Amino acid sequence: MASPPAPARFARVALVGRLASPGIALPLHRLAAFLSARGHTVVVDAETAADAPVPGHPTAPTADLARQADLAIVVGGDGTVLSVARQLAPFDVPLIGINQGRLGFLTDIPPARMEETLDAMLAGRHVEQRRTLLAVDVERAGGGGERLLALNDVVVNRGSLGSMIECAVDIDARFAYAMRADGIIVATPTGSTAYALSAGGPILTPQLPAFLLVPVAPHALTHRPIAIGDDAEIVITVIHGKDAGVHCDGQNHYSLAEGDCVRLRRAAFHARFLYPEGHDYFAMLREKLHWSATPERIARPPAR
Protein backbone atom coordinates (compact mmCIF):
# COMPACT_ATOMS: atom_id res chain seq x y z
CA MET A 1 0.00 0.00 0.00
CA ALA A 2 1.45 3.36 -1.02
CA SER A 3 2.25 5.89 1.68
CA PRO A 4 0.18 9.11 1.70
CA PRO A 5 1.88 12.10 0.07
CA ALA A 6 3.92 14.38 2.30
CA PRO A 7 2.07 17.67 2.79
CA ALA A 8 3.65 20.82 1.39
CA ARG A 9 2.81 22.83 4.53
CA PHE A 10 1.64 22.23 8.08
CA ALA A 11 3.22 18.78 8.28
CA ARG A 12 2.18 18.31 11.93
CA VAL A 13 -1.39 19.20 12.89
CA ALA A 14 -2.78 19.25 16.45
CA LEU A 15 -6.44 18.47 17.12
CA VAL A 16 -8.26 19.97 20.10
CA GLY A 17 -11.92 19.38 20.92
CA ARG A 18 -14.39 21.02 23.22
CA LEU A 19 -14.41 19.04 26.46
CA ALA A 20 -17.53 17.16 27.57
CA SER A 21 -19.30 18.09 24.34
CA PRO A 22 -21.82 15.53 23.03
CA GLY A 23 -20.98 14.45 19.51
CA ILE A 24 -17.40 15.78 19.53
CA ALA A 25 -15.89 12.36 18.74
CA LEU A 26 -17.32 12.12 15.22
CA PRO A 27 -15.82 15.36 13.82
CA LEU A 28 -12.50 14.56 15.50
CA HIS A 29 -12.40 11.11 13.87
CA ARG A 30 -13.34 12.62 10.52
CA LEU A 31 -10.59 15.22 10.82
CA ALA A 32 -7.94 12.70 11.87
CA ALA A 33 -8.79 10.44 8.91
CA PHE A 34 -8.88 13.36 6.48
CA LEU A 35 -5.54 14.79 7.66
CA SER A 36 -3.82 11.40 7.66
CA ALA A 37 -4.98 10.77 4.10
CA ARG A 38 -3.36 14.06 3.09
CA GLY A 39 -0.07 13.01 4.67
CA HIS A 40 -0.19 15.14 7.81
CA THR A 41 1.01 13.86 11.15
CA VAL A 42 -1.81 14.20 13.67
CA VAL A 43 -1.33 14.74 17.41
CA VAL A 44 -4.37 14.94 19.69
CA ASP A 45 -4.69 17.09 22.79
CA ALA A 46 -4.45 14.75 25.81
CA GLU A 47 -7.52 16.16 27.59
CA THR A 48 -9.52 15.87 24.39
CA ALA A 49 -8.39 12.27 23.88
CA ALA A 50 -9.33 11.36 27.46
CA ASP A 51 -12.86 12.56 26.77
CA ALA A 52 -13.13 11.42 23.14
CA PRO A 53 -10.33 9.00 22.15
CA VAL A 54 -8.94 9.14 18.61
CA PRO A 55 -7.22 5.75 18.21
CA GLY A 56 -4.01 5.47 16.23
CA HIS A 57 -2.70 8.96 16.95
CA PRO A 58 -0.30 10.20 19.63
CA THR A 59 -1.46 12.59 22.34
CA ALA A 60 0.21 15.49 24.11
CA PRO A 61 -0.78 17.89 26.91
CA THR A 62 -2.19 21.17 25.65
CA ALA A 63 0.83 23.03 27.03
CA ASP A 64 3.13 20.90 24.79
CA LEU A 65 1.07 20.98 21.59
CA ALA A 66 2.69 24.19 20.36
CA ARG A 67 6.10 22.48 20.38
CA GLN A 68 4.81 19.50 18.44
CA ALA A 69 2.59 21.09 15.80
CA ASP A 70 2.77 23.52 12.88
CA LEU A 71 -1.00 24.15 13.02
CA ALA A 72 -3.85 23.55 15.46
CA ILE A 73 -7.42 22.76 14.45
CA VAL A 74 -9.92 23.40 17.25
CA VAL A 75 -13.39 21.86 17.21
CA GLY A 76 -15.64 23.72 19.62
CA GLY A 77 -16.93 27.15 20.47
CA ASP A 78 -15.21 30.47 21.03
CA GLY A 79 -14.39 29.57 24.64
CA THR A 80 -12.32 26.57 23.56
CA VAL A 81 -10.59 28.66 20.90
CA LEU A 82 -9.73 31.40 23.40
CA SER A 83 -8.10 28.92 25.75
CA VAL A 84 -6.04 27.24 23.02
CA ALA A 85 -5.09 30.52 21.28
CA ARG A 86 -3.58 31.95 24.48
CA GLN A 87 -1.33 28.90 24.77
CA LEU A 88 -0.29 28.84 21.10
CA ALA A 89 0.35 32.57 20.65
CA PRO A 90 3.78 32.71 22.33
CA PHE A 91 4.97 29.98 19.93
CA ASP A 92 3.57 31.60 16.75
CA VAL A 93 1.44 28.55 15.87
CA PRO A 94 -1.64 29.35 13.74
CA LEU A 95 -5.12 28.08 14.54
CA ILE A 96 -8.22 27.11 12.56
CA GLY A 97 -11.60 26.92 14.30
CA ILE A 98 -14.42 24.49 13.47
CA ASN A 99 -17.68 25.75 14.95
CA GLN A 100 -19.21 23.26 17.37
CA GLY A 101 -20.58 25.99 19.64
CA ARG A 102 -23.24 28.69 19.41
CA LEU A 103 -22.42 32.06 17.80
CA GLY A 104 -18.83 31.28 16.87
CA PHE A 105 -17.21 34.65 16.13
CA LEU A 106 -13.82 32.91 16.00
CA THR A 107 -14.97 29.57 14.57
CA ASP A 108 -16.89 30.14 11.38
CA ILE A 109 -16.27 26.81 9.55
CA PRO A 110 -19.28 24.48 9.92
CA PRO A 111 -18.56 20.75 10.52
CA ALA A 112 -20.65 19.81 7.48
CA ARG A 113 -18.14 21.52 5.15
CA MET A 114 -14.93 21.16 7.11
CA GLU A 115 -13.09 18.67 4.84
CA GLU A 116 -13.64 20.58 1.61
CA THR A 117 -12.87 23.90 3.32
CA LEU A 118 -9.73 22.59 5.02
CA ASP A 119 -8.51 20.93 1.81
CA ALA A 120 -8.31 24.35 0.15
CA MET A 121 -6.86 26.04 3.23
CA LEU A 122 -4.16 23.42 3.73
CA ALA A 123 -3.23 23.85 0.08
CA GLY A 124 -2.52 27.52 0.78
CA ARG A 125 -5.85 29.14 -0.08
CA HIS A 126 -6.48 30.95 3.18
CA VAL A 127 -6.21 34.37 4.78
CA GLU A 128 -4.51 35.08 8.08
CA GLN A 129 -5.52 37.49 10.82
CA ARG A 130 -3.16 38.36 13.67
CA ARG A 131 -5.11 39.20 16.82
CA THR A 132 -3.80 41.38 19.66
CA LEU A 133 -3.58 39.97 23.18
CA LEU A 134 -3.48 41.72 26.53
CA ALA A 135 -0.59 41.03 28.90
CA VAL A 136 -1.99 41.30 32.42
CA ASP A 137 -0.16 41.79 35.73
CA VAL A 138 -2.23 41.56 38.89
CA GLU A 139 -0.25 43.47 41.52
CA ARG A 140 -1.17 42.97 45.17
CA ALA A 141 -0.98 45.87 47.61
CA GLY A 142 0.81 43.55 50.04
CA GLY A 143 3.25 42.25 47.40
CA GLY A 144 3.17 39.43 44.88
CA GLY A 145 0.63 38.86 42.17
CA GLU A 146 -0.20 36.95 39.00
CA ARG A 147 0.76 37.25 35.33
CA LEU A 148 -1.89 36.37 32.74
CA LEU A 149 -2.92 36.70 29.11
CA ALA A 150 -6.27 37.64 27.58
CA LEU A 151 -7.39 37.52 23.97
CA ASN A 152 -10.94 38.83 24.45
CA ASP A 153 -11.05 40.99 27.53
CA VAL A 154 -10.09 41.68 31.12
CA VAL A 155 -12.91 42.53 33.52
CA VAL A 156 -12.54 44.11 36.96
CA ASN A 157 -15.89 43.91 38.71
CA ARG A 158 -17.87 43.50 41.89
CA GLY A 159 -18.42 40.10 43.41
CA SER A 160 -21.35 38.21 44.90
CA LEU A 161 -22.02 40.73 47.70
CA GLY A 162 -23.81 42.95 45.20
CA SER A 163 -22.36 46.35 46.08
CA MET A 164 -20.58 48.59 43.58
CA ILE A 165 -16.82 48.91 43.51
CA GLU A 166 -14.83 52.10 43.09
CA CYS A 167 -11.76 52.02 40.92
CA ALA A 168 -9.26 54.46 39.48
CA VAL A 169 -8.03 54.27 35.89
CA ASP A 170 -4.59 55.49 34.82
CA ILE A 171 -3.48 55.55 31.18
CA ASP A 172 0.23 55.85 30.44
CA ALA A 173 0.93 56.84 34.07
CA ARG A 174 -1.62 59.69 33.92
CA PHE A 175 -4.81 59.66 35.95
CA ALA A 176 -7.82 59.35 33.65
CA TYR A 177 -10.83 58.96 35.98
CA ALA A 178 -12.27 57.28 39.04
CA MET A 179 -15.59 55.51 38.81
CA ARG A 180 -18.20 53.78 40.92
CA ALA A 181 -19.75 50.95 38.93
CA ASP A 182 -20.39 47.24 38.74
CA GLY A 183 -17.09 47.02 36.90
CA ILE A 184 -14.99 47.95 33.90
CA ILE A 185 -14.09 45.94 30.80
CA VAL A 186 -10.83 46.35 28.89
CA ALA A 187 -11.34 44.66 25.53
CA THR A 188 -9.23 43.94 22.47
CA PRO A 189 -10.77 44.23 18.99
CA THR A 190 -11.43 40.49 19.20
CA GLY A 191 -13.27 40.98 22.50
CA SER A 192 -15.29 43.93 21.21
CA THR A 193 -17.97 41.47 20.06
CA ALA A 194 -18.14 39.76 23.47
CA TYR A 195 -18.99 41.17 26.92
CA ALA A 196 -17.99 44.70 25.86
CA LEU A 197 -20.67 44.65 23.15
CA SER A 198 -23.32 43.61 25.69
CA ALA A 199 -22.25 46.51 27.91
CA GLY A 200 -22.75 49.07 25.13
CA GLY A 201 -19.28 49.21 23.62
CA PRO A 202 -18.59 49.56 19.88
CA ILE A 203 -17.29 46.84 17.58
CA LEU A 204 -13.66 47.21 16.54
CA THR A 205 -12.43 45.50 13.38
CA PRO A 206 -9.63 42.99 14.11
CA GLN A 207 -6.84 45.02 12.51
CA LEU A 208 -7.59 48.21 14.45
CA PRO A 209 -4.72 49.00 16.89
CA ALA A 210 -6.91 49.93 19.83
CA PHE A 211 -8.28 48.83 23.18
CA LEU A 212 -11.74 49.53 24.57
CA LEU A 213 -12.51 50.67 28.12
CA VAL A 214 -16.19 49.97 28.76
CA PRO A 215 -17.85 50.71 32.12
CA VAL A 216 -20.41 48.22 33.44
CA ALA A 217 -23.47 49.90 34.98
CA PRO A 218 -21.64 53.08 36.11
CA HIS A 219 -23.24 55.14 38.86
CA ALA A 220 -22.66 58.35 36.86
CA LEU A 221 -24.25 58.20 33.44
CA THR A 222 -21.53 60.44 32.03
CA HIS A 223 -19.04 57.54 32.07
CA ARG A 224 -18.97 56.26 28.50
CA PRO A 225 -16.93 53.67 26.58
CA ILE A 226 -13.70 55.00 25.13
CA ALA A 227 -11.14 53.59 22.69
CA ILE A 228 -7.42 54.19 23.12
CA GLY A 229 -4.33 53.17 21.17
CA ASP A 230 -3.09 49.67 21.88
CA ASP A 231 0.39 50.99 22.68
CA ALA A 232 -0.96 52.47 25.93
CA GLU A 233 -0.50 51.01 29.40
CA ILE A 234 -3.65 50.83 31.50
CA VAL A 235 -3.69 50.50 35.28
CA ILE A 236 -6.93 49.85 37.18
CA THR A 237 -6.70 50.22 40.96
CA VAL A 238 -9.42 49.06 43.34
CA ILE A 239 -10.13 51.96 45.73
CA HIS A 240 -13.20 50.56 47.50
CA GLY A 241 -14.76 47.13 47.14
CA LYS A 242 -14.28 44.21 49.47
CA ASP A 243 -15.50 41.57 47.04
CA ALA A 244 -13.90 42.64 43.76
CA GLY A 245 -12.36 40.31 41.21
CA VAL A 246 -10.47 40.24 37.92
CA HIS A 247 -11.43 37.89 35.09
CA CYS A 248 -9.43 37.17 31.93
CA ASP A 249 -11.46 35.89 28.96
CA GLY A 250 -14.05 34.69 31.47
CA GLN A 251 -11.77 31.71 32.19
CA ASN A 252 -9.12 32.83 34.68
CA HIS A 253 -10.47 34.42 37.88
CA TYR A 254 -8.73 36.07 40.84
CA SER A 255 -10.05 38.02 43.80
CA LEU A 256 -8.96 41.62 44.35
CA ALA A 257 -8.62 43.57 47.60
CA GLU A 258 -8.62 47.31 48.13
CA GLY A 259 -5.31 48.73 46.93
CA ASP A 260 -4.69 45.93 44.42
CA CYS A 261 -4.17 46.99 40.83
CA VAL A 262 -4.39 45.38 37.40
CA ARG A 263 -1.78 46.51 34.87
CA LEU A 264 -2.53 45.88 31.20
CA ARG A 265 -0.51 46.33 28.04
CA ARG A 266 -0.30 44.86 24.55
CA ALA A 267 1.39 41.46 24.56
CA ALA A 268 4.64 41.04 22.64
CA PHE A 269 3.10 38.39 20.35
CA HIS A 270 -0.15 37.81 18.48
CA ALA A 271 -2.65 35.00 18.13
CA ARG A 272 -2.71 33.76 14.53
CA PHE A 273 -6.05 32.75 13.00
CA LEU A 274 -6.48 31.22 9.56
CA TYR A 275 -9.75 31.66 7.67
CA PRO A 276 -10.99 30.40 4.29
CA GLU A 277 -10.03 32.39 1.23
CA GLY A 278 -12.51 35.21 0.72
CA HIS A 279 -13.36 35.47 4.43
CA ASP A 280 -15.49 38.59 4.96
CA TYR A 281 -15.56 40.01 8.50
CA PHE A 282 -18.69 42.08 7.87
CA ALA A 283 -20.53 39.14 6.32
CA MET A 284 -19.70 37.22 9.47
CA LEU A 285 -21.11 40.04 11.63
CA ARG A 286 -24.29 40.16 9.54
CA GLU A 287 -24.80 36.44 10.06
CA LYS A 288 -23.92 36.23 13.76
CA LEU A 289 -25.66 39.44 14.86
CA HIS A 290 -28.64 39.06 12.51
CA TRP A 291 -28.13 42.40 10.83
CA SER A 292 -30.51 43.08 7.98
CA ALA A 293 -29.08 42.18 4.60
CA THR A 294 -29.11 44.40 1.52
CA PRO A 295 -28.74 43.48 -2.16
CA GLU A 296 -25.16 42.97 -3.29
CA ARG A 297 -25.57 45.66 -5.91
CA ILE A 298 -27.43 48.84 -5.08
CA ALA A 299 -28.60 51.01 -7.99
CA ARG A 300 -26.87 54.36 -7.92
CA PRO A 301 -28.00 57.54 -9.70
CA PRO A 302 -26.12 58.23 -12.93
CA ALA A 303 -23.16 60.61 -12.68
CA ARG A 304 -23.94 64.16 -13.74
Active site residues: 78
- 70-107: b or e for each residue (b if 16 or more CB lie within 10 Å)? bbbbbbbbbbbbbbbbbbbbeeebbbbbbbbbeebbbb
Judge whether 193 and 266 are in contact, CB under 8 Å. Answer: no
Q: How far is CA 261 from CA 25, 134, 140, 167, in A?
A: 43, 15, 7, 9
Q: How far apart are CA 116 and CA 272, in angstroms?
A: 21
Q: How far apart are CA 41 and CA 57, in angstroms?
A: 8
What contacts 139, CB < 8 A, 6 or more positions away? 145, 260, 261, 262, 263
Q: How far apart are CA 132 and CA 143, in angstroms?
A: 29
Judge whether 289 and 192 are in contact, CB under 8 Å. Answer: no
Q: How far apart are CA 91 and CA 8, in angstroms?
A: 21
CB-count burial class (<10 Å; 0-12, 13-18, 19+) for 34:
middle
Q: The dihedral of CA 298, 299, 303, 304: what is its sign?
A: negative
Strand 12-17 and strand 41-45: the pairing is parallel
Task: Give the three-class secondary structure for 31.
Answer: helix
